[in-house]
Structure 1
Amino acid sequence: MKEKLWTKDFVSITLINFFLMLTFYLLMVTISVFAVNEFQSNASAAGFASSIFVIGALVGRLFGGRYIDKLGQKKLLLIGIGIMIMTAIVYFFVESYIMLSIIRVIHGIAFGIAGTATGTIVAQAVPTTRRGAGIGYFALSMTVATAIGPFIGMFILAHFAFNYIFIFCLVCVVISFLLSLMIKVKELPEEKHEEEPGRGIFKFIEKKAAPVSLVAAVTAFCYAGIISFLSFFASEHSLTEAASFFFVVYAVAVLVSRPFTGKLFDNKGPNSIMYPAIISFAIGMFMLSQANNAITLLIAGAFIGFGYGTYMSSSQAAAIKEVSAHRVGLATATFFILTDIGLGVGPFLQGYLVPSIGYNGLFLILGILLVLCLPLHYFLYGKHAKLS
């Protein structure tokens, strides 16, 4: 008999993650517009206002992963969301680009702290025998947020004042805080002396989780090009309306595939689904680079949804698969630290390429990079992965 997966606490932590990720992706695709409209920022400065959040999240995850066992998962979650509520309020009073950047960093730190807690709590909430499926469904909350966040952001930008975006984000984090108060958390066991973290950076990084997380970071770097430049690409090709549904198609692709991808992970091993996911992501990126009509754009969204959405959830599950219970927090932080780096440096570095190669050229190069992820995955993780 299968162990129960859909418990009250599992559903609650998944909803909390959904609302937090919703605010993240909504602001990632709209804050650059705010910076341009309110402070006349240039393109690189506007992109930096978006990416600097991820730098803050990296700091938050370093802190969260190191101290989650000392402070406790629930306390860390409440601290992170509490700071997010305060920063959500401060957005209404931003008067300069410098102030916006500072708030984005603080908001990012709080998000990183809360995200480390949610990722650790869910790893404890799902049965070990159903970890692939459980983490997959949990990651689905992120995937759905990836679709709905940009869609809501674009809709509000088109029909309302920007402050309504801040109002929406504030409501989301308040709901997350209330849900956090109600969940029961199984705290991590005390760390064994013989498995004390190493020195230096290895106090913050779980070495066993690093290889697969590095590959995930490269895929996140590629995905950053989409969330940062898709709107500009669509405008250039008169595909703005279709682009607003790109992330919806992305989410539908993951929703349709999720029931069997989680089972394959648990029954056939990580590689059974991770290699096809990378290939699908690469195909989607190549299609996107050549898209000149709505149909091609949306089909690319489906391939990218299955590819990136599946690889990220599978790699997160793989990162904690072989880690002992008291190291799950550090492994979770390691995964998100590295993927945050990919998401954070992506818009900054890719922005330098756009003037010379254009958005089509950028997506083509990112597709090639994804092809290179196949051997990278094999050497860093795939050849060592257990069948089940």
Structure 2
Amino acid sequence: MSINRPIWTKCFINIFVSNLFVFIVFYALLTLLPIYVTDALGGSESQAGLIITIFLLSAIIVRPFSGKLIDRFGKKKMLVASAVFFAITSFLYPLVDHYIALLLLRFFHGVWFSIVTTAAGAIAADSIPRERRGEGLGYFAMSMNLAVVAGPFIALTLLQFVSYVTIFLILSAIMVVGVLCTLGIKAIENTSPVNRSKLTFEDLFEKKSFPIAVVGLFVAFSYASVISFISLYAKSLNLLDAAGFFFAVFAVAMLVSRPFTGRLFDTRGPNTVILPAFVLFAIGLLTLSLTNVAWMLLLAGALIGLGYGSIVPSFQTLAIQAAPETRSAHATATFFTFFDTGIATGSYVLGIMVTTMGYANLYMSLSIFVIGILFFYQWMQKQKSTRKQLQSQTDY
């Protein structure tokens, strides 16, 4: 049977490892640069935050154009080129000793991050047998999950022993290995003619992926509270030591569940995974709001890892499945444009909210909000089903 076609081909392994190294560098810099700004450059906390925001901003701006670029020049060429420029940009960090220059470098770095991750996601989706796409993209997402732990661990461990310049060079060397992995990838290129004369809406977005991308935006908005404030929340509870293990537990929960949830997605349907995942995500946020001891903080990390960690690859799969085969890059770009926007918006809006309502109340409110997203998702699924029924009756 076709379901036995392998996922872990040479191409898939190469794209997995390459994506892993890109995200290791991404998360390592995400952890290191705020410290670098305040410590080495003498910047403020707000300036440290802007270093993160400017990177996401450039990724959001460029992401819609990445599908068009990939279609025009080819997935393999754009993957290799963007990985090379991502690596070159990484080598420039030791040369920057001024805050404004660092801001410009971060914006430039975000551009290549946007393109390389879009190309990688499209190539990964194409290399997976269609009937096993839920399982395969779940495995591919593990490259990002591992990097969530590995990146910060590498950065913070090295910081105790070597200089910032040395860390930047080590991260750059890691990215060079990622570039080498891209060279062994074979991509399925789009054979349809590309309109080179003008830029249209379809060149930037895949309309059929919009509904699930919108729901993904709301999920990312909620998750922004975790990546942005978990350390500060833990510090307010005198649980900062336990916070160091939060994302480790988070990642382990995702990695353990991924083989089962991916298979369930393909064999039993997406709702078999997505509906329980929403409930677990909400319970995880509720547990965070009630946390006062270390084990509760880690339990919340496990629940959020199981819930949120299953929702995102499932939604990415649905976004790609909604589009024609030749539009996988556009579908990937559309989904992550909305997703990145949710993270960036959530970090800002929830930062304002937390000053008035406190961390515990924020997480409790978000647990209710996530259940609301679940009902919104179900409503959209019913609307989609109704449209299909009407279409089939019209065709008949």
What is the TM-score of this pair, normalised by structure 1? Answer: 0.92
Within-5 A mapping of 1:260-339: 260-339=260-339
Q: Distance in 2 between matches of 1:156 and 1:235?
A: 23
What is the CA distance between 1:244 and its match in structure 2? 1.1
Q: Which moved more, 1:373-382 or 1:252-261?
A: 373-382
- Contact kept in structure 2, 1:278 and 1:370, CA below 8 Å: yes
What is the CA distance between 1:88 and its match in structure 2? 0.7
Aligned length: 384
Q: Confirm or deny that 1:225 pairs with 2:221.
A: no
Equivalent residue in structure 2 for 1:154, among 149, 153, 156: 156
What is the CA distance between 1:339 and its match in structure 2? 0.6
Within-5 A mapping of 1:39-118: 39-118=41-120
What letter corresponds to residue 180 of structure 1 in structure 2?
T
Q: Structure 2 stretches of 5 or more lacking a match? A: 389-396
Structure whose CA Rg is larger: 2
Q: Distance in 2 between matches of 1:217 and 1:257?
A: 23
Q: Deviations over 1:92-116 (max 9, x none)?
A: 1222221111111111110001011
Q: Distance in 2 between matches of 1:134 and 1:364?
A: 33
Identity of aligned residues (%): 39
Equivalent residue in structure 1 for 2:186, among 181, 184, 187: 184
- Contact kept in structure 2, 1:116 and 1:332, CA below 8 Å: yes
Q: Deviations over 1:125-152 (max 9, x none)?
A: 0011111111111011111212222333
Q: Distance in 2 between matches of 1:274 and 1:346?
A: 22
Q: Deviations over 1:189-236 (max 9, x none)?
A: 31599xx9x975443110111111111122112222222222222222
What is the CA distance between 1:320 and its match in structure 2? 0.8
- Contact kept in structure 2, 1:47 and 1:348, CA below 8 Å: no
Name the structure 1 match of 2:204.
204
Q: 1:307–1:267: structure 2 CA closer, same or farther, 3 Å change rule?
A: same
Q: Deviations over 1:248-291 (max 9, x none)?
A: 11111111111211111111211111111111111111111222
Q: 1:158–1:381: structure 2 CA closer, same or farther, 3 Å change rule?
A: farther
Q: Distance in 2 between matches of 1:305 and 1:144?
A: 12
What letter corresponds to residue 154 of structure 1 in structure 2?
L
Q: Distance in 2 between matches of 1:178 and 1:230?
A: 35
Q: Deviations over 1:33-70 (max 9, x none)?
A: 22222334333332221122111112332221112111
Name the structure 1 match of 2:391.
none
What letter corresponds to residue 275 of structure 2 in structure 1?
Y
Q: Distance in 1 between matches of 2:349 and 2:167?
A: 27
Q: Distance in 1 between matches of 2:82 and 2:278?
A: 32
What is the CA distance between 1:383 and its match in structure 2? 5.3
What letter corresponds to residue 36 of structure 2 in structure 1?
F
Q: 1:360–1:36: structure 2 CA closer, same or farther, 3 Å change rule?
A: farther
Q: Distance in 2 between matches of 1:160 and 1:239?
A: 27
Q: 1:382–1:340: structure 2 CA closer, same or farther, 3 Å change rule?
A: farther
- Contact kept in structure 2, 1:9 and 1:183, CA below 8 Å: yes
Q: 1:286–1:123: structure 2 CA closer, same or farther, 3 Å change rule?
A: same
- Contact kept in structure 2, 1:14 and 1:138, CA below 8 Å: yes
What letter corresponds to residue 258 of structure 2 in structure 1?
R
What is the CA distance between 1:336 and its match in structure 2? 0.9
Q: 1:6–1:294: structure 2 CA closer, same or farther, 3 Å change rule?
A: same
Q: Confirm or deny that 1:361 pairs with 2:361.
A: yes
Name the structure 2 match of 1:140.
142
SS in 2 for 1:39: coil
C-alpha RMSD over aligned residues:
2.3
Q: Distance in 1 between matches of 2:383 and 2:257?
A: 25
What letter corresponds to residue 306 of structure 2 in structure 1?
F
What is the CA distance between 1:177 and its match in structure 2? 0.4
Q: Distance in 1 between matches of 2:308 and 2:382?
A: 17
Q: Distance in 1 between matches of 2:335 and 2:193?
A: 20
Q: Distance in 2 between matches of 1:192 and 1:26?
A: 37
Q: Distance in 1 between matches of 2:287 and 2:344?
A: 24
What letter corresponds to residue 350 of structure 2 in structure 1?
Q
- Contact kept in structure 1, 2:285 and 2:364, CA below 8 Å: yes
Q: 1:317–1:150: structure 2 CA closer, same or farther, 3 Å change rule?
A: same
Q: 1:36–1:91: structure 2 CA closer, same or farther, 3 Å change rule?
A: same
What letter corresponds to residue 10 of structure 1 in structure 2?
F
SS in 2 for 1:245: helix
What is the CA distance between 1:154 and its match in structure 2? 3.4
What is the CA distance between 1:160 and its match in structure 2? 4.3
Q: Which moved more, 1:120-129 or 1:356-365?
A: 356-365
What is the TM-score of this pair, normalised by structure 2? Answer: 0.91
Name the structure 2 match of 1:35.
37
Point out 4+ residue stretches in structure 1 off by more than 6 angstroms: none
What is the CA distance between 1:179 and its match in structure 2? 0.6
What is the CA distance between 1:369 and its match in structure 2? 2.2
Q: Deviations over 1:304-337 (max 9, x none)?
A: 1011111000000010113211111110110111
- Contact kept in structure 2, 1:16 and 1:180, CA below 8 Å: yes
Q: Structure 1 stretches of 5 or more lacking a match? A: none
What is the CA distance between 1:71 and its match in structure 2? 0.4
